[in-house]
Amino acid sequence: MNAPPSPPDLAALRAEIDRIDEHMHRLLMERGEIIDRLVAVKRSQGGEGGSAFRPAREAAMMRRLVDRHGGLLPLDTVESIWRVIISTFTYVQAPYAVHADLSAGEPTMRDSARFHFGFTTPFVPHMGPRGVIEAVAASRGDLGLLPAAQLPAGAAWWHALEGADAPKIIARLPFVERADHPAGLPVFVVSHPIADAAVTEIEVWSVRASGWSARAAAVLGGRGTLIAAARGLAPSLLLSVQAGACDAALAALAEAGAQIEGAVRVGSHAEPYRFGADAA
């Protein structure tokens, strides 16, 4: 009769965990050495200027992370760890602060900032989107976080993004979308324009239009999404559309009775990556 298998050796398993922990730490330090060399190369070439944040590269990294993930560790934890690694090493390359509009509530905005940018990056609160945009415009490479929806009785803050040199929307967070996301409030990231590193899968447009009504969201159908709207002396819409689909969205609004007076692209971002049941 065969003897029963020996129980796991707890000491040996803990030694394996210690080995893995040490290996991960050494890999992080190795990553830091490469970042140091990267910074030196940038300086020798005149530097890139502004923020070192690169949304196109980050979106590709996060897609690969989700695609290969499996096992016991929750995706929330893995995503948070990678966000902190990316944001902290970005900060090491070119220090920056994250300015956040607290109009949607301080806890949710702070949670979003800490989940996506960690604790090393300074967090600067503002009450209202205009203060965030002005702070980003006055900085060398800071980022701004704005709720990706119009707040009650709010003005068309997106007009401040219309100038050629004005800050632009460069990302929408969370990138990995799921119903139970621990920092699930949709927010836009704004920075100085970074055309060389931008993702243009989704375009965001500031549309000055009068005569529109609540039907605007319905008439857009699959042509785009009405993110926010403002009435008053300068009626305006903030639209999200697939790249190249703005003309079709504007035509749909015009057919519904809106008078289109102008449209300016105020940024772009990656298509959100839906995970789990949300991907269906």
**Are 190 and 211 found together in one domain?**
no
- Res. 271: pLDDT tops 70: yes
- Res. 278: pLDDT tops 60: no
Band the pLDDT of 46: cuts 50, 70, 90: low
Q: At which of 194, 227, 244 does a domain end?
A: 194
Mean pLDDT value across residues 224-244:
85
Q: For position 235, which CATH number holds?
A: 3.30.70
**Are 61 and 188 found together in one domain?**
yes
**Are 126 and 236 found together in one domain?**
no
**Are 91 and 174 found together in one domain?**
yes
- Res. 80: pLDDT tops 80: yes
165-218 pLDDT, tens per residue?
Answer: 999 999 999 998 888 888 889 999 999 998 777 888 999 999 998 887 767 767
In this predicted structure, what is the pLDDT of residue 256?
A: 81
Task: Look at the chain and report how many structural domains it folds into.
Answer: 2
**Are 163 and 225 found together in one domain?**
no
**pLDDT above 70 coverage of the chain, percent:** 89
Q: At which of 143, 159, 194 does a domain end?
A: 194
**Are 164 and 242 found together in one domain?**
no
Q: Residues 200-217, buried b or exposed e (16+ Cβ, 10 A)? A: eebbbbbbbbeebeeebe
Mean pLDDT value across residues 33-52:
74
Q: Is 5 part of a structural domain of the chain?
A: no
Q: For position 156, which CATH number holds?
A: 3.40.190.10
In this predicted structure, what is the pLDDT of residue 98?
A: 97
Q: With beta carbons less than 8 A apart as the criterion, state whether 96 and 53 touch.
A: yes
Q: How far is CA 125 from CA 23, 155, 172, 180, in A?
A: 37, 19, 19, 25
**Are 228 and 91 found together in one domain?**
no
Q: Is 10 part of a structural domain of the chain?
A: no
Q: Which domain holds residue 214?
A: 203-268
Q: With beta carbons less than 8 A apart as the criterion, state whether 167 and 144 touch.
A: yes
**Are 30 and 81 found together in one domain?**
yes
Q: With beta carbons less than 8 A apart as the criterion, state whether 128 and 103 touch.
A: yes
**Are 186 and 211 found together in one domain?**
no
Better-scored residue on pLDDT, 89 or 215: 89
Q: At which of 138, 173, 194 does a domain end?
A: 194
Q: Is 188 part of a structural domain of the chain?
A: yes
Q: Is 226 part of a structural domain of the chain?
A: yes
In this predicted structure, what is the pLDDT of residue 48?
A: 54
**Are 75 and 153 found together in one domain?**
yes
Q: With beta carbons less than 8 A apart as the criterion, state whether 248 and 280 touch.
A: no
**Are 226 and 125 found together in one domain?**
no
Band the pLDDT of 100: cuts 50, 70, 90: very high
**Lowest-confidence pick of 5-14, 62-71, 125-134:** 5-14
Q: What is this structure's pTM?
A: 0.88
In this predicted structure, what is the pLDDT of residue 198?
A: 82
Mean pLDDT value across residues 248-277:
87
**Are 259 and 176 found together in one domain?**
no
In this predicted structure, what is the pLDDT of residue 122?
A: 95
Q: Is 15 part of a structural domain of the chain?
A: no
Q: Is 209 part of a structural domain of the chain?
A: yes
Q: What's the whole-number average pLDDT of the chain? A: 87
